Structures are given as structure tokens and as C-alpha cells.
Amino acid sequence: MGVAFMLGKKEVEQILAEIMDTIPELEGLIAAAPTGKVVAGQTLREMDHNAITSSIAALLKETKTVSKAVDQGPVQSMYLETDKGYTVAVTASKTMVVAIAGKDAAPSLGLIIRSLRSAVDKIGKTP
């Protein structure tokens, strides 16, 4: 696999599947290393998971400048709102999880972020 996740791919897929089952507005979830290397992902339609996570990793790297300038600590999550929906990323030192959701997910953004934080904690946890 080449990524320093504490859990195997099947366990990560199970965590993602549970979140997808809980939040019907989600169109996809992808777990990756902070570098963008995908470990597991599922999306309702064909998407380039590597392109998504590589782009998110680059954005998160750039947010360090903003984070330093506002002096409020490291970035833990970010979301992008587009005409058709949201892309939400939650990150920790060893893991990031990216969610893709439609516009109907607006009322569920808090739940999505909380669920992604829980997933990042579970995936990155040392046995």
C-alpha cells in the first residue's frame, strides 16, 4: 500500500461505508494520506480519486500560510462550496478524508465534518 495507515484497506472501507450509509446526501468519500495517496474510496459516479486527493493535499498545504498568518493553529478541516455542491476535507497528521456532497447536503455539513473527524481519528489511531 505504501501509506502509513494503522488500519488495513478493508477496515478503512468499512468506516467509509458506515458514513455513506448514515448521511444519504454524500456522493462519495475518499481516505488518503496527507500527501494525497489514496487508500480507499467510494463515489456514486466515476471520479478520479487520485486527482481529487492530490488537489486537496495541495490546497491544505497552501492553507498553512493562512493558518500561520491568523495564528489560530493548524487547519483541521476545510470545505469548498461550488454551484453543484460541497467538497469537505478533514485532516490529521497521518490521514485525510474527503467527502463529496450535493447542494442538498447544506443542512448536514456539521454532521459531515463531525463524521469525517471521527473517521480520521479511527483510521489514524495506533493499535
What was the pLDDT predicted at 6? Answer: 65
| Rounded average pLDDT per 10-residue block, the chain, 127 residues | 64 95 96 93 94 95 89 91 96 92 96 96 75
DSSP readout, 31-87? Answer: EE-TTS-EEEEEESS---HHHHHHHHHHHHHHHHHHHHHHTS----EEEEE-SSEEE
Domain residue ranges in the chain = 9-124
What was the pLDDT predicted at 127? Answer: 53
Q: pTM score, two decimals? A: 0.89
Q: Residue 103 corresponds to which amino acid? A: K
Stretch (H or E) spanning 111: helix 109-124
Q: Residue 107 corresponds to which amino acid? A: P
Was domain 9-124 assigned CATH 3.30.450.30? yes
